[in-house]
Structure 1
Amino acid sequence: MIFLADEGVDKSLVELLRAASYDVFYVAESASSISDEEVLALANSDGRILITRDKDFGELVYRLKRIHSGIILVRMEELPSISRSTYVDHFIRENLDKLAGHFVVLQPGLTRIRKL
């Protein structure tokens, strides 16, 4: 499984995923300040699952019907960075079969997974 972490994603999550041998392209390291459309295109070009904290991707996918390889929207602003990262890392490891082609919203106590 390969991922693209949007620049708003915690670096600690990127480090956890890389330590688990996942291929993670981190926008903040290589392509900061690109538009959401460019982020989505970059993820799609390699078939990467996009991890983001930016709810604008919901609009791109649902209203504007943009194609995606899979999106994980992390809505856990109230958690400290390391807690949020650990939660997302655990979710990914436990749900690898539910990520490709799905739009996942992670919130404390609530997970929504929609196939598109």
Structure 2
Amino acid sequence: MKLLLDTCVWGGVRTDLVAAGHDVIWTGDWSEDPGDEEILAIAYNERRILVTLDKDFGELAIVRGIPHSGILRLVNFSSKQQSMVCLRVLTLYGNELASGAIVTAELGRVRIRPPNDP
């Protein structure tokens, strides 16, 4: 799966996802932060699922209608937990994410907003 990790996601997550066979870019490697809208556009243009801790991306996608290729938002997980949660969500909900869903993973629950859900 092609993924774009936001800077706020622990950089070690990339190592674990790559080891699991995913194609991963981490914005923390970029020389400067282009801003949320540009990050979302890059993910969309490259058909990458955006992984973030930031709820602003969901608002850009839902409220402003900015196109995306799926968003996974991690809520209240430690750096070490982020890899495990990403791998689990990608295994269980990868098809939904690949079809453009917004998936929010929290302790004890996962919420899925299908693409084009009003």
Q: How far off is 1:69 after superposition? A: 0.6
* Identity, % of aligned positions: 35
Partner of 1:73: 73
Q: 1:98 aligns with which of 96, 99, 109?
A: 96
Partner of 1:89: 87
Preserved CA contact (<8 Å) 2:52 2:74: yes
Q: TM-score scaled by structure 1?
A: 0.91
The one-letter code of the counterpart of 1:86 is M
CA RMSD in angstroms, aligned pairs only: 1.3
Partners of 2:21 and 2:86 lie apart in 1 by: 15
Preserved CA contact (<8 Å) 2:17 2:83: no
Partner of 2:54: 54
Preserved CA contact (<8 Å) 1:7 1:32: no
Q: How far off is 1:43 after superposition? A: 0.3
Q: Does 1:14 align with 2:14?
A: yes
Gaps of 5+ in 1: none
Q: How far off is 1:11 after superposition? A: 1.2
Q: TM-score scaled by structure 2?
A: 0.89
Q: Show structure 1 runs of 4+ deviating over 3 A.
A: none
Q: How far off is 1:93 after superposition? A: 2.3
The one-letter code of the counterpart of 1:80 is S
Gaps of 5+ in 2: none
What's the secondary structure of 1:51's corresponding residue? strand
Q: Any idea what the Cα deviations from partners look like across 1:13-48, whole Å, max 9, x if unmatched?
A: 111101112100111112542200010011011110
What's the secondary structure of 1:58's corresponding residue? helix
Preserved CA contact (<8 Å) 1:36 1:57: yes
Partners of 1:26 and 1:80 lie apart in 2 by: 18
